[in-house]
């Protein structure tokens, strides 16, 4: 995006900053899941603390089953899901997005800058689920 003409010379438009793709070897269960079928959809909300993680997990699982897709559900700070993955859903702990997003078909997330940049970097379809803590622009400045 070009810099607006009315911006002073000392202001630049820089875009996203990207980390290098790490030299990462996935755990054997994640590697097996990724190899066992079509590329899954990544679903994760990172550091968002969800008030009802069990309810959110149920909603996510219902969507996965209704759509008939495979998914990786990042447990995140809310500890979504459980430790028991199956052929359709893999529950993920920590994993670098720069590595993982090369292996998924789409990214459903909270809209954090890093997650958004990484999904776009690898050309993945992205759906953002808005949570209040990440979206100060939804509220008048006097309420922030």
Q: How far apart are CA 55 and CA 58, in angstroms?
A: 5
- The Cα 48–Cα 103 span in angstroms is 24
What pLDDT, on the 0 to 100 scale, is given for residue 108?
A: 97
Question: What pLDDT does residue 3 have?
Answer: 87
Residue 132 has a pLDDT of 67
**Per-residue pLDDT at 113:** 84
Task: Give the residue from 106, 103, 72 showing the smallest Cα distance to 90.
Answer: 72
E strand or H helix that includes residue 99: helix 97-100
Looking at residue 33, its pLDDT comes to 97
CATH for 30-130? 3.40.50.2000
Mean pLDDT, the chain cut into blocks of 10 residues (144 residues total): 88 80 93 97 91 93 96 93 89 94 96 89 91 50 41
Rounded Cα distance between 116 and 128, Å, is 8
Alpha-carbon dihedral sign for residues 36, 60, 73, 53: negative
CB atoms within 10 A of CB 124: 17
Among 102, 135, 96, 134, residue whose Cα is nearest residue 120: 102
The reported pLDDT for the residue numbered 14 is 80
Neighbour count for residue 46 (Cβ, 10 Å): 17
> If we measure between CA atoms, which residue out of 42, 31, 50 comes closest to residue 104?
42
Q: How far apart are CA 90 and CA 42, in angstroms?
A: 10
pLDDT attached to residue 17: 76
């Amino acid at each position: 995006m070009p810099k607006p003409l009315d911006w002073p010379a000392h202001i630049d438009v820089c875009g996203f900053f990207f980390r290098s793709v790490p030299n990462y070897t996935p755990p054997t269960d994640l590697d097996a899941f990724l190899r066992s079928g079509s590329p899954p959809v990544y679903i994760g909300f990172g550091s968002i603390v969800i008030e009802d993680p069990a309810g959110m997990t149920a909603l996510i699982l219902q969507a996965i089953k209704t759509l008939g897709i495979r998914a990786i559900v990042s447990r995140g700070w809310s500890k979504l899901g459980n430790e028991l993955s199956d052929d359709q859903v893999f529950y993920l702990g920590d994993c670098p997005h720069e590595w993982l997003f090369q292996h998924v078909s789409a990214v459903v997330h909270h809209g954090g800058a890093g997650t958004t940049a990484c999904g776009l970097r690898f050309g993945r379809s992205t759906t953002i689920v808005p949570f209040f803590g990440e979206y100060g622009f939804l509220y008048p400045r006097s309420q922030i």
